[in-house]
Amino acid sequence: MDLNHRLNQARLSDQAPAAGQSIEDQARQIISSIFTSGNSIPASTKTRALQDKFNQQLQATINGQVLTATDTGALPDDTHFLNRMSYGPTPPLREQLANEGWENLLERQLDPENIDTSDIDAALAQNFPTLTLTPEEIIKAGEVDLIIKVVTEFIVSTLMRQAYSPAQLYERMVEFWSDHFNMNILDAPLFAFKSSDDRDAIRPNVLGKFRDLLFANARSPAMLLYLDNYSNTKDGPNENYARELLELHTLGVDGGYSEDDVVAVARAFTGWTINPFNFEFLFHFPLHDRRNKEVLGTKIRKTYTGGITDGEQVLDLLASHPSTARFISTKLARRFVSDNPPAELIDALTQVFLDTDGEIKELLRTLFNSDAFWAAKEQKMKRPLDFLTSIIRRLGFDPGENTFRYMFTRLQQMGQIPFYWHAPNGYPDTAAYWTDTAAMISRWSSGNDVSRFVPDENMEAALDGADTPNTIIQAMAIVLIDRKLGTEERKAIRRNVFAGQKPNQPITGNPVEYARITATVLLGSRYFQQR
Amino acid sequence: MKRRTFLKTSAIAGTFPLLNPGFSWATNNLDGDDNILVCVFLGGGADGLNIIAPVGEGNYYDLRPTLALKEPGSGIDASLDLDGFFAMHPAMDKLHQRFQNGDLAVVQATGLTSDSHSHFDSQSFMQRGIATEQNIADGWLNRHLSLQANNDPVFRALGLANSLPLSLAGNYPAISMRSIEDYGLNAGEIVGPVIENTLAALYNQDSLLDIEASKALTSMSALHQADPAQYPTENGAEYPDTEFGQRFRQLGQMIRAKVGLTTACMEIHGWDHHDNEPEVLPDILAELSNTLDAFATDMGTDMSRITVVTMSEFGRRAYENSSAGFDHGYGSFMLTMGAGVLGGKVYGDWPGLAANQLVFSGDLDITTDYRTVLAELLGKRFGQDDFATVFPDWTQAGELGVFV
């Protein structure tokens, strides 16, 4: 039975929706609108235990956390390292870093299986039961409500992991590879498949060998659907996956492939499809194009195992290709170092990639050990997700009943809901895209909103008794941007935010409220836009 | 100092004139009778052959045995005749009506003459106004505006999209807006100005961030004063309730608010139809058609100064694949509507769909460089004559006569 038919049958099962609209269309429509209206996101009150614990930890340690803050305005090395390695410094991470040095902390982070993530794991398991569902279970249920739960729980869990998981580098790499192998979760019926892809293809492989990640992705039903390979047959190859495999997943657009290579690769992957009964990967031999193929000048060997090896040989060829090594190295350097990373760094990473057969941990070691990395302080524009998670990690966040509903609205306005990017290249990773007038305004307005949801106790802890304009400004500057402000900047804030108050005398009014407005302008300042 | 010199000087210095302090936007150029260009980018590679279908050519039906449009007059779902040879997709009935009224013109077999076939390269080339990679970072509209800008209003150049469209990016200070509603701090009448004034004082340098921050602050307050949200849709126009439709509605409000807008960029994504085209193309075409139609209706007599033009990074393969779709192609189509358009006609030489007429892996050829259309439009409606600057790797060679 053909897959489209099965998917259709699943859509139109017991809960036939009104007005001839398929469940799929309904779900897509609702999911598209969730994040504008905010109304359909389940209140995640049960995750409060985790957030409370995090906030209390912050309260106990927030003050005096930046031991290395200087008057010079230069970002401390420790903060630079944590800005890139994690979603933002927290007191425990800083302490660990101070105690054992960044090399040891990096090694710890490169070994996530030995990081205690029991708090976040328990919170997710308890509150987001759909994370363990398979596409088969989701599709066979055929319920709009369930699909919406699947998507929202998956996205919320991604945000929570970024904000609260101690395995921070691991989460950064999950984000990196999710961008690299981007799928738009609104591209039906991907909302039934993407959470499984994250669980089964992305997460187990983000710190392993690139080859394994590539193979897992090629067989992932979500990717087979997203780039149409499920319907790529000998009768008329569909080039979508083949082209993006070459252009976006491996060689890069200038990696040296031709239009003929695109066609040959498409033919090699004919028959890589999805089992229409359980929605798992299936190589279906009758659909496979058995004719000879040549890719990048290499003849694809015919084997006795029935044609699936055509695609596997292509993946092997691509996984170890020098263009792939350079392309992946460039993207990693762009994510972790700067928008235009120096050629020496890319060369070094490329060599490591080729020497280690694409060992991702080795690439990261090289990257963090490079001079280029340490010279690139504050050269990355935070993307909206970074912007939000770094506020939460520095100040704490408690918006009441609907913790993450709120974050969705902000991310919608700032233009980066996870897994919503419309094209297979993933959310852009350079400043040009994220720096325009709308971006600035949405950040300012988000900073203002989020700072209103920082618990009073955290604000008081951050202030640590500061009660004059000058001391409030400096306390907030140290907590938020790791430095004391210069005279002119301090004056600018004092004149506007503390108008009518004497610089060095206790203010009239509640210091916490002044601290919030001070936080808003600091979160809106250049220092907080960059990492 | 003339603005152009000013811009050039600041470009050399690697800076942009900061708006605060030392540079002020004009507020006196808002009489509202300037010509307006609205540029619409169809992201993903729109299938020109099933949008403006060559139903008069037999090869079309041979190449697309299951997915070709039905001939005009062949009953329900039949395509809509344009000139006896080309026909429009039936989902575009509103624009078909405008074509028949002479408001809308079509250019077929046009596009970007690059062999890339990559969405991302092609979109980038097209928005930068080039056909091959070169050291040019800014957009074609930005260069156009930089050449003639003088004492400009804040909102002269506006992108209503998720991020500033690359066509508008560059030294000329374009504004990017996702929606009118979100273009503000929503911090209240007391705290709002405090935050704005503080930020204005903190963003006083010359980096990209400072430039965008200054533009944001200036434009936010200009928008607040103009209050475009107060203007209702007119003439019974009904915009689709989609992001694209609603952004066009807001573009109408911006024009009506007389904020000095002359150049707008809009985007609609979702044209990458590798599979199941019959399921998805009608919806997005209807969205496009109904939106442009509503916009023209809403603008009413103002359409005498507004010209809309569409483009896409490439067309799609001439023959269908096994997924009921089409892979990346080459030649595609452009639509143009409104002021100065000699409508009711399909322009451009038809290259044909015979095997020896197709190019690359089986693509419709391009007979009209997309810049030929844009240059004619800029020249006739917007006084541009420096095409060596606007389209640096393009040589002018005649025009189609689409515009007066």
CB pairs under 8 A between A and B: 170
Total domains in chain A come to 1
The distance of A234 to chain B (nearest Cα, Å) reads 8
Q: Which residues pair with A299 in a beta bridge?
A: A294
Asked whether residue A246 carries a pLDDT value surpassing 70, the answer given is: yes
Q: Is the Cβ of B157 closer than 8 Å to some Cβ of chain A?
A: no
Q: pLDDT-derived band of residue A67, with 50, 70 and 90 as boundaries?
A: very low
Which of B 171-190 lie inside 8 A of A, CB atoms? 175-178, 182-187
Domain that holds residue A327: 322-374
Partners of B362 on chain A (C-beta within 8 Å) are none
What residue in A sits closest to B325 (Cα-Cα)?
A238
Q: pLDDT-derived band of residue B99, with 50, 70 and 90 as boundaries?
A: very high
Partners of B162 on chain A (C-beta within 8 Å) are 415
- Asked if residue A211 is part of any domain, the answer here is no
Percent of chain B at pLDDT exceeding 70: 92
Q: pLDDT-derived band of residue A450, with 50, 70 and 90 as boundaries?
A: confident
Residue A477 to residues A63, A85, A97, A382, B326, Cα–Cα distance (Å):
12, 22, 21, 18, 55
**For residue range B260-313, what is the model confidence (pLDDT) as tens digits?**
999 999 999 999 999 999 999 999 999 999 999 999 999 999 999 999 999 999
Would strands B175-177 and B52-53 be described as parallel, antiparallel, or unpaired? unpaired
- The pLDDT score that the predictor gives to residue B15 is 31
Percent of chain A at pLDDT exceeding 70: 87
Q: Is the Cβ of B219 closer than 8 Å to some Cβ of chain A?
A: yes
Mean of all residue pLDDT scores within chain A:
89
- The pLDDT score that the predictor gives to residue A34 is 53
- Asked if residue A153 is part of any domain, the answer here is no
Q: pLDDT-derived band of residue A365, with 50, 70 and 90 as boundaries?
A: very high
Partners of B219 on chain A (C-beta within 8 Å) are 437
Which of B 306-335 lie inside 8 A of A, CB atoms? 319-325, 327-328
* Cβ contact B207–A263 (<8 Å): no
The distance of B211 to chain A (nearest Cα, Å) reads 9
Asked whether residue A297 carries a pLDDT value surpassing 80, the answer given is: yes
Find, among B156, B109, B166, the residue nearest to B372 by Cα.
Answer: B109
Asked whether residue B158 carries a pLDDT value surpassing 60, the answer given is: yes
Q: Is the Cβ of A317 closer than 8 Å to some Cβ of chain B?
A: no
Q: Could you please report the per-residue DSSP string of A57-88?
A: HHHHHSTT--TT-BSS-PPPHHHHHHHHHSSS
- The pLDDT score that the predictor gives to residue A26 is 66
- Asked if residue A329 is part of any domain, the answer here is yes
How many CB atoms lie under 10 A from the CB of residue A294? 11
Asked whether residue B74 carries a pLDDT value surpassing 60, the answer given is: yes
Q: pLDDT-derived band of residue A189, with 50, 70 and 90 as boundaries?
A: confident
- The pLDDT score that the predictor gives to residue A446 is 93
- Asked if residue A125 is part of any domain, the answer here is no
Considering only A17-21, A185-189, A395-399, B40-44, which range has the smallest mean pLDDT? A17-21
- Asked if residue A90 is part of any domain, the answer here is no
Asked whether residue B151 carries a pLDDT value surpassing 90, the answer given is: no
- Answer yes or no: is the ipTM higher than 0.85: yes
- To test the contact with chain A by mutation, choose from B181, B214, B323 the residue with the greatest count of A C-beta atoms within 10 A, namely B323
Could you give the domains of chain B? 3-390 (3.40.720)
Q: What is the C-alpha to C-alpha distance for residues B148 and B165, in angstroms, rounded to an integer? A: 20
- Asked if residue A351 is part of any domain, the answer here is yes
Contact A11, A22 (CB under 8 A): yes
Asked whether residue B348 carries a pLDDT value surpassing 70, the answer given is: yes
- To test the contact with chain A by mutation, choose from B125, B163, B279 the residue with the greatest count of A C-beta atoms within 10 A, namely B163
- Asked if residue A500 is part of any domain, the answer here is no
Q: What is the pTM of this model?
A: 0.92
The distance of B107 to chain A (nearest Cα, Å) reads 27
- Asked if residue A341 is part of any domain, the answer here is yes
- The pLDDT score that the predictor gives to residue A128 is 87
Q: What is the number of helices (H) and of strands (E) in chain A? A: 28, 4
Q: Which residue among A234, A238, A524 places its CB closest to the CB of B275?
A: A238
Please, which residues have CB within 8 angstroms of residue A383's CB and are 6 or more apart in sequence? A416, A427, A429, A434
Q: Which two tokens stand for residue A148?
A: 């919406």
- The pLDDT score that the predictor gives to residue A276 is 87
